[in-house]
Structure 1
Amino acid sequence: MMRVHVEGIGLLGPGLAGWAAARSILTGDSAYVAMATMLSASPLLPPAERRRSVPTVKLAMAVGAEAMEQAGRDPATIATVFASSSGDPDTLHQILETLATEERDISPTRFHNSVHNAPAGYWSIATRSREPSTSLSAHDESFQAGLLEAAAEVVADGWTVGLIAYDLPYPEPLNKARPIAGSFGTALVLTPAPTARCLAWLDIELTRGDEPVTRMADLGLEALRTGNPAARALPLLSALARVCADGGTETVVLDLPPGGRLVIRVAAPC
C-alpha cells in the first residue's frame, strides 16, 4: 500500500476544457458533450521551442502547467513522470511517410520530436527544471504504470512528483492499426505528506484480485475511457471531483493486465 497526497490536477480532453470546467461533468452534475480538444503552444516555452512544439508537447505542457498552478508549486522544483502509450502520432506518421519516398530525408526537428521523452525535454526547457524525470510507455496501461511509478517515487524517495499522462490519435492509415479516441491529457501533483493545499489523499494498492474495473456512468465518457489510454484516468478523476466537492471516501479499480488491478482509495480532506 502506498499513500500519496494530491495537491494539483490538470485535465484537457474532448469536452473537458480544464479541471475547473470539467469537475461538474465528472461528478455528473453537468451533461458531457464531446467536442474537439483545443491545443495551443505553451507560453512558458521560448519562441523557438514554441514554434517547434508538436501536439503531444502542447497537450502535456497544458495539463502539467494547470496542475502545478493549482498546487502553487514552482515546476522547476518538481520531479516528473511522463506517461504516454504512443508518443507523438503526427510526427511518427510524417517520418514513416518520408521514409516511403525516394529521398527519405528526415528533418532534424521531426526526428527530435519523435523520441518518447520529447515532452519531458520541452518541459525542462520551459520550467528550467533539473529535477529527475521519467518517460514511460506501457501500451493501454500507460497511465496506470505512470501512477505506480510516480507513487513509488513519492513514497520511496520522499519527492513531490508531477505525473503527466497524454495520448493523441494517429492519422490514417496508422489509425486503422492503432485507433485512439481524441486527444486527452491529465496531470497530478503528488506529495509524500499533506499540506495546506492538499485536495485528497490516495491509498494505492497493486493486487492480483478479480475486483471489477471501475467504469464511467456516462456513455460518452466511458467511450473516451476505453478509447484513449490516458483516459483510463477518468474514474480516478471523477472520484477526486466528487470527494473534493462532498468529502467522504471512494474506491476506484483500474485494470493492469495481465491479471492485475490498481485499487485506489480516494479520501478527503487530508
Structure 2
Amino acid sequence: MKLSAFIESVGVIGPGLANWPQSADVLAARAPYASARTVLPPPEGLPAAERRRTGAVVKIALAVGHEAVAASGRDAATLAAVFAASGGDGQNCHIICDALASDDRLLSPTRFHNSVHNAPAGYWSIATRDQATSNVLCAHDGSFAAGLLESACQVAVDGVPTLLIAYDADYPEPLHTLRPVADAFGVALVLAPQAGAATLARLDVTLTEAFATPLASPELEALRTNNPAARALPLLEALACMNQAGQASQSGQPAKPAEPAKPARVVIDYLPELRMQIDVTPAGALGEGA
C-alpha cells in the first residue's frame, strides 16, 4: 500500500541547526556543519504564565511548528496536527523521580501536567488557538516514521492539510545512561492532499525491509542515530538537495546554473524489522493532475 502527500513547508531545529533554510544549506553541502548545543527559543504565542512553565520538548515543538506553518502560508488555527515523540519532557521526568525518591514527595500541578505525553499538543493549541483535531503518538525510536505514516493517512483519508511535529530532547543523568538521546531535535512538515503554489515535493510512502539511508557526514549521521526525531534527516537531505536554484557559492560568486531537481528515494527507520521508504518527487517534476 502506498500513501501520498504533498509537502508544502519544513521547520527544523537541532544541534547546529537553527531553522530550515540554514539546515537545508548544511544538508545539501552548500554550507559547512558546525555542531553546537541546540538553542531553544522562547515558546512563541503563549501567555507569560504558560511560557514560564514550558520545558524543552514544548519549546522544540512550538519552534518548528511555527516555522513550518509560517512558510506554508496557512492558518495554524485550522490545521489538523500530529505530534510524535519517543518520550516526554526528560528534565521534568527527572525532577519528578527525584522528588518521589526523597522525603518530600509533594509535586506541583505544573510538574504533573507537563509530564503527560500530550503536553506539547496542549500548549500548541493555546499558542495558535488551534481547534482542529490533533493526535499524539509514540513509537520509541520509530516515532518520526509513525508520525509521518499517521499524517499521510489523515491527508489521504480525510483530505485535509496536516501538520506533523516530531521532537525529542535529551535526559539528565541517571536517565541519560539508559536513554542516551543526543541533545534536542525537532522537525515539522505541512502536508497537503493536493499540489499547490507552495508545494515543494510529493512524498510517496510505503513500508520496506531495506536498510535505512545513512548520511555522508559523520556528525550528521551520529545525530540521525542518536535522536529519534532526527531519523527524519535523510528525507530532509533529499528535500534540501532539490532546492538548488538561486543559491550562491561560498566564495560569494554567482552559483552555477542549477540542474532540474531529480526524484529521490530514501529509507528511514521505523520498526526493528521494518523501515519506511519515501519516494520524493520535486514540484518541478510533477505532471498535471499529480
Q: Where in structure 2 are the equivalents of 1:86-97 lying within 5 Å?
A: 86-97=87-98
The answer to whether the aligner puts 1:257 opposite 2:256 as a matched pair is no
1:23 is matched with 24
Which residue pairs with 1:56 in the alignment?
57
Query: Mean Cα displacement is larger for which, 9-18 or 28-37?
Result: 28-37
Equivalent residue number for residue 262 of structure 2:
248
Structure whose CA Rg is larger: 2
Work out whether 1:238 is the aligned partner of 2:237.
yes
The one-letter amino acid of 2:172's match is P
Using the TM superposition, name which of 69-78 and 238-247 deviates more. Answer: 238-247
Separation in 2 of the partners of 1:216 and 1:128? 38
Q: 1:9, CA displacement in angstroms? A: 0.2
Tell me the residue number matched to 2:219.
220
Q: Which amino acid aligns with 2:186?
A: G
Q: Secondary structure at the match of 2:279?
A: strand
Alignment of 1:198 onto 2:212: no
- Runs of at least 5 residues in structure 2 that lack an aligned partner in the other structure: 245-259
2:12–2:188 Cα contact (<8 Å) kept: yes
> How many equivalent pairs are there?
268
Map of 2:280 onto structure 1 = 266
* Cα distance, 1:264 vs structure 2: 0.5
Is the partner of 1:216 in helix, strand or coil?
A: coil
Distance 2:115 2:45 in 1: 21
Q: Is residue 41–residue 53 contact of structure 1 (8 Å, CA) maintained in 2?
A: no
CA contact (8 A) 1:243 1:267 kept: no
**Counterpart code for 1:234:** L
Alpha-carbon contact 1:200-1:244 (below 8 Å) kept: no
- Equivalent position amino acid for 1:260 in 2: L
For residues 111-260 of structure 1, what are the structure 2 equivalents within 5 Å? Answer: 111-207=112-208, 209=209, 211-245=210-244, 247-260=261-274
How far does residue 107 in structure 1 lie from its aligned partner after superposition?
0.6
| 5+ residue gaps, structure 1 | none
Within 2, Cα distance between the matches of 1:115 and 1:212? 33
Question: Contact 2:161–2:193 (CA<8 Å) still a contact in 1?
Answer: yes
CA contact (8 A) 1:88 1:113 kept: yes
Deviation at 1:46, TM superposition (A): 1.3
The residue identity in structure 1 corresponding to 2:119 is A
SS of 1:35's partner is coil
Asked whether the 8 Å contact 1:41–1:58 carries over to 2, the reply is yes
CA contact (8 A) 2:155 2:192 kept: yes
CA contact (8 A) 2:202 2:281 kept: yes
2: CA distance, partners of 1:79 / 1:25: 30
Name the stretch that deviates more: 71-80 or 44-53: 44-53
Q: Partner letter of residue 164 of structure 2?
A: L
CA distance in 1, matches of 2:140, 2:38: 22
Q: How does 1:31-50 map to 2 (within 5 A)?
A: 31-50=32-51
- TM-score, scaled to structure 1: 0.97
Alignment partners' CA distance in 2, 1:138 and 1:19: 25
Give SS of 1:17's match: coil
Cα drift, residue 159 of structure 1: 1.4
Q: Residue in 2 aligned with 1:6?
A: 7
Q: Deviations over 1:26-47 (max 9, x none)?
A: 0122221110111122231111
Identity rate, percent: 51
Is the Cα–Cα contact under 8 Å of residues 23 and 241 in structure 1 kept in the other structure?
yes
| Runs of 4+ deviating beyond 3 Å | none
The 8 Å contact of residues 148 and 164 in structure 2, kept in 1 or not, is answered as yes
Q: Distance in 1 between matches of 2:38 and 2:107?
A: 28
Question: Aligned residue for 2:247?
Answer: none
How far did residue 228 of structure 1 move? 0.4
Structure 1 distance, partners of 2:156, 2:84, is 19
**Equivalent position amino acid for 1:96 in 2:** C
Q: Aligned with 2:275: secondary structure? A: strand
Q: Which residue is 2:252 aligned to?
A: none
